Chain A
Amino acid sequence: MVYLTRRYRFSASHRLHNDALTAEENARVYGKCNNLYGHGHNYVLEVTLAGPIDPETGMVYDLAALDRAVEEEVLDRFDHTNLNLDVENFRQRVPTTENVCIEAFNLVRARLTGGRAAGAPNPAHLAHLARVRVEETNSNSFEYEG
């Protein structure tokens, strides 16, 4: 079993706010992240796949296929957006980086067709999504393993 990790980047704005809480409670819980107009980050997204090395290719997964999946499912959805206003996943969910991490994991996993390496030269070859890690800043990061 080999773990393969690829790093991507996206930039987005968000506002941490829960409609179920009062303005005062939101301000207390989320501090400056509750600012009405939002604020932004340069996020780093790390996607880790785990699987055996395909003896025909020497690879765990077709990287071009992984790049396409992550670009289409996550980066195209999240990059240069206001997560609260522009991304369906966060209409009913506070776009904390915890939730961004979980949503990114679920989006990529759904695309990897039940763990099959879609687009890999040998379709019988299996790799699965092992982890998604999101860095909100150099100091904060979040990991989700499903």
Chain B
Amino acid sequence: MIYVTRRAEFSASHYYHNPAWSGEENRRVFGKCANPHGHGHNYTVEVTVRGEVDPKTGMVLDLKDLKKLVEKEVLDLVDHKFLNREVPVFATTIPTTENIAVEIWKWLAPKLNLGKLHRIRLYESADLYVEYYGD
């Protein structure tokens, strides 16, 4: 079994808000992340696929295909976007780094033809990242 990781970057804005709570409660829980005008990050996503090496090609999958898939299924949706307003799922799901990683998993996992999605690692900054393994 070999693990192949592809890294990609996107920039987006977001804010944290739970509509079930008062403005005051949102500010208390989420602090400056509750500012409704949003704020932004340069995100780095690492997509790890696992699989066997194909003896004909020496590869698990064609990395160009993975790059295109990540562009189409992830970057086109989120890059240079205000996540809360422009990405439908985040109208109802708070776009925390945790939830973004889970959504990226859901977008990519069913689209992979070769290999299995193993991990999504999403950096919000160099000092903060989350990892999701699909369960």
- Other-chain residue from A5, A7, A57, A121 in contact with B96 (beta carbon distance below 8 A): A57
Would you list which residues of chain A between 31 and 76 have a CB under 8 Å from chain B? Answer: 53, 56-60, 62-64
* B residues less than 8 Å from A4 (CB atoms): 97-98, 128-130
Please give me the residue from chain B that is nearest to A5 by CB atom.
B129
How far is A101 from B131 in the complex, measured between Cα atoms in Å?
21
Specify the main secondary structure of chain A where it touches its partner. Answer: mixed
How far is A32 from B30 in the complex, measured between Cα atoms in Å?
48
Quick one: given A2-B101, A2-B102, are A59 and B132 in contact (CB under 8 Å)? Answer: no
- Other-chain residue from B126, B127, B132 in contact with A2 (beta carbon distance below 8 A): B132
**Quick check: A1 and B29 within 8 Å, CB to CB?**
no
Contact size class for B? 20 to 34
* A residues less than 8 Å from B99 (CB atoms): 53, 58
Confirm or deny: A93 has a beta carbon within 8 angstroms of a beta carbon on chain B.
Answer: no
Specify the main secondary structure of chain B where it touches its partner. Answer: mixed
How far is A2 from B97 in the complex, measured between Cα atoms in Å?
10
**Quick check: A60 and B94 within 8 Å, CB to CB?**
no
* A residues less than 8 Å from B101 (CB atoms): 2
Question: What 1/0 mask marks residues of chain B from 99 to 127 whose CB sits below 8 Å from any chain A CB?
Answer: 10110000000000000000000000011
Please give me the residue from chain B that is nearest to A8 by CB atom.
B127
* B residues less than 8 Å from A5 (CB atoms): 128-131
* A residues less than 8 Å from B94 (CB atoms): 57-58
Chain A nearest Cβ from B89, distance in angstroms: 12
Q: List residues of chain A with CB under 8 Å of any chain B CB.
A: 1-8, 53, 56-60, 62-64, 121
Q: A2-B98, A4-B129 are in contact. List 8 more A-B contacts (CB 8 A).
A: A1-B135, A2-B131, A7-B126, A7-B127, A58-B93, A58-B95, A58-B96, A58-B98
